[in-house]
């Protein structure tokens, strides 16, 4: 049956190794052209990449209340974050290859439908065990938005233009971590934590309708993979055989681990240790997200195209390492007793540095891919969320009364990421030094 919805016809992807975009009458040659041709599509892709921060960050101010409401330990409640992250990791490795075979729209719409159902079940979960299970399903389904949005970008862009577009997506999706905890904090003023999931259901339904009605199909039939699981595994094996692709994948994974350690621990650190209210925490979390978005735009508008992307990426990781080191020393009492202000300032610097680390990691990895963008996107996303899912519960191993585990995880993850960048990644002939 013919698939409904708008489509963008394509020629075969460019197989040269130049960093220029694919210039065909039906694809997007530059970022300004993308805005003229498909501003709505750009907004939709940004909204899809906002699925993780919406599912995670709107819920963060409610974590202490969930602990009390379900009579569960903080470490167990943090597993609701880990389960969602693990689901997003596993879901991407499945949905990415599916989108290479069946196109981008159908797997995306199916994923959004399941996401809505799973989120509704989270709203009525009677105990923490079922909440963890439903969050796992929510993550599995929500992965479709992340991996397919990234594959669509690779369908349309290459080289420096792709890096700039990822920075544009960060601007759009970056609104979510700014407003999500604020919305979550306000929801808690009028209802309990279950109301957060009700709002997420509404958002999921609206996004699904917009995707069904307006998102074009960017992968034409002639470019889809007709093979089965064996072909998918061979494609992934070929990607992993590329030393630089694997290096950037690991760099991105451990950078995300540092980010997820902050996401998992910051509600308890700021509210339980430093006495911030849910609303104050939401404001600080939103401010940190603004820093990430602003630096991401500096990356896309100023740095990319002028400074080699791997050098910009390395600079971002060095700043994260420096900030995490200061945070660890604060947590150990080296500077004496410190209040919420200094801790929040250091976290702001750390999160802002992610704005030049994350988009460049994705662009540098995908620049090495000529085809199988869905599978490549799946590997990038799965590695990031799996490593993040492993790292996030580590921040709770010492209880709720210390920020040391958060700082240690952030520091170690950033150091490992920088190590992979130095040892595995090399400037390629594909224009990453443009």
Q: Where are the domains of the chain?
A: 41-217+235-424
Q: Distance between CA atoms of 359 and 336, rounded to whole angstroms?
A: 36
Specify the DSSP element, H or E, that contains 328.
helix 309-331
What confidence tens digit (pLDDT) does each residue in 239-288 have?
A: 888 899 999 999 999 998 998 888 888 888 888 888 888 778 888 888 88
pLDDT band for position 52 (cuts 50, 70, 90)? confident
CA distances from 427 to 84, 280, 368, 430 (A): 35, 43, 11, 8
Alpha carbon of residue 228 to chain centroid: 28
More confident residue, 179 or 73: 73
Q: Helices (H) and strands (E) in the chain — how many of each?
A: 16, 0
**104-113, 366-375, 382-391: least confidently modelled range:** 366-375
Q: Distance between CA atoms of 368 and 164, rounded to whole angstroms?
A: 16
Residue 414 is predicted with a pLDDT of 95
Mean confidence (pLDDT) of the chain: 80
- Report DSSP state, residue 104: S
**61-75, 348-362, 420-434: least confidently modelled range:** 420-434
More confident residue, 14 or 202: 202
Is residue 59 packed enough to be buried (19+ CB in 10 Å), middle (13-18) or exposed (0-12)? Answer: buried
What confidence tens digit (pLDDT) does each residue in 372-409 have?
A: 777 887 888 888 878 887 887 788 776 667 788 899 99
More confident residue, 207 or 400: 207
Mean pLDDT for 16-43 is: 46
Residue 434 is predicted with a pLDDT of 38
Q: Distance between CA atoms of 31 and 171, rounded to whole angstroms?
A: 14
Query: How is residue 198 written in tokens?
Result: 């009700």
Q: Structurally, what CATH architecture does the domain formed by 41-217+235-424 represent?
A: Up-down Bundle (1.20)
From the CB of residue 379, how many other CB atoms can be counted at a distance below 10 Å? 26
**Is a pLDDT exceeding 60 seen at residue 178?**
yes
Residue 37 is predicted with a pLDDT of 40
- Report DSSP state, residue 307: B
pTM above 0.75, yes or no: no
Query: How is residue 314 written in tokens?
Result: 């390395």
Percent of the chain with pLDDT over 90: 26
- List CB contacts of 152: < 8 A, sequence separation 6 or more: 45, 104, 218
């Amino acid at each position: 049956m013919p698939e409904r919805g708008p489509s963008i016809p394509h020629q075969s992807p460019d197989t040269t190794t130049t960093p220029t975009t694919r210039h065909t009458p039906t694809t997007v040659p530059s970022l300004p052209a993308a805005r003229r041709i498909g501003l709505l599509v750009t907004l939709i892709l940004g909204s899809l990449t906002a699925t993780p921060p919406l599912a995670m960050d709107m819920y963060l101010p409610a974590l202490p209340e969930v602990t009390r409401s379900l009579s569960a330990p903080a470490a167990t409640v943090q597993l609701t974050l880990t389960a969602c992250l693990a689901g997003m990791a596993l879901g991407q490795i499945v949905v990415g290859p599916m989108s290479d075979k069946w196109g981008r729209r159908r797997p995306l719409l199916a994923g959004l439908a399941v996401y809505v159902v799973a989120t509704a079940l989270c709203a009525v979960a009677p105990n923490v065990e079922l909440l963890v299970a439903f969050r796992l399903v929510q993550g599995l389904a929500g992965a479709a938005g992340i991996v397919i949005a990234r594959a669509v970008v690779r369908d349309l862009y290459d080289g420096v233009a792709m890096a700039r577009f990822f920075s544009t997506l960060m601007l759009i999706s970056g609104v979510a971590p700014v407003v999500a905890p604020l919305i979550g904090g306000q929801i808690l003023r009028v209802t309990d934590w279950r109301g957060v999931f009700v709002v997420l259901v509404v958002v999921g339904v609206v996004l699904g309708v917009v995707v069904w009605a307006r998102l074009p199909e960017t992968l034409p039939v002639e470019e889809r993979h007709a093979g089965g699981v064996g072909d998918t595994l061979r494609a992934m094996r070929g990607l992993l055989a590329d030393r630089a692709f694997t290096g950037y994948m690991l760099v991105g994974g451990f950078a995300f681990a540092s980010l997820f350690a902050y996401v998992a621990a910051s509600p308890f650190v700021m509210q339980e240790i430093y006495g911030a209210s849910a609303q104050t925490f939401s404001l600080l979390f939103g401010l940190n997200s603004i820093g990430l978005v602003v630096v991401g735009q500096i990356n896309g508008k100023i740095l990319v195209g002028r400074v080699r992307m791997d050098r910009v990426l390395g600079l971002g990781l060095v700043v994260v390492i420096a900030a995490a080191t200061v945070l660890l020393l604060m947590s150990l009492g080296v500077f004496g007793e410190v209040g919420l202000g200094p801790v929040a300032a250091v976290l702001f610097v750390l999160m802002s540095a992610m704005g030049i680390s994350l988009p460049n990691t994705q662009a540098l990895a995908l620049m090495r891919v000529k085809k199988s963008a869905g599978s490549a996107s799946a590997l990038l996303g799965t590695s990031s969320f799996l490593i993040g899912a492993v790292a996030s519960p580590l921040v709770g191993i010492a209880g709720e009364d210390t920020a040391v585990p958060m700082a240690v995880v952030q520091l170690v993850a950033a150091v490992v990421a920088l190590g992979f960048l130095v040892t595995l990644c090399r400037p390629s002939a594909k224009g990453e030094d443009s």
